[in-house]
Amino acid sequence: MENMKNIEIIENYQLMYNKYDIETLEFNIDRLSLKKLLVTQKLTTEFCKLYLLNPEEHGMCVEDHYISIDDILLYQKHIIREELKITIEDT
């Protein structure tokens, strides 16, 4: 809990100008557009599985509900299809 005191509160517009660690993004998930996160930040496969592919709880707008695996692979160049598939299937 001590670590949470150092986490910055961020808004959507800041995503275009800065890169944030996964812990900060998760802390702020209810303030941020999933689509903007996808396009502007370097995300992990686990983050994509938990948030981008399950927008029911954290989606802010209609476009957040239409993020696909192909979108993730397009914007997250470091993620490969097989790795994402394994993460999704691992429940």
Region 53-61: what's the mean pLDDT?
A: 89
- pTM, 2 dp: 0.88
Region 34-57: what's the mean pLDDT?
A: 96
Q: HEC states along 25-75?
A: HHHCHHHCCHHHHHHHCCCCHHHHHHHHCCCCCCCCCHHHHHCCHHHHHHH
pLDDT tier at 78, thresholds 50, 70, 90 = very high
For the cut 80, the answer to whether the pLDDT of residue 2 exceeds it is no
Region 53-78: what's the mean pLDDT?
A: 93
Can you give the pLDDT at residue 4?
Answer: 59
Region 20-39: what's the mean pLDDT?
A: 97
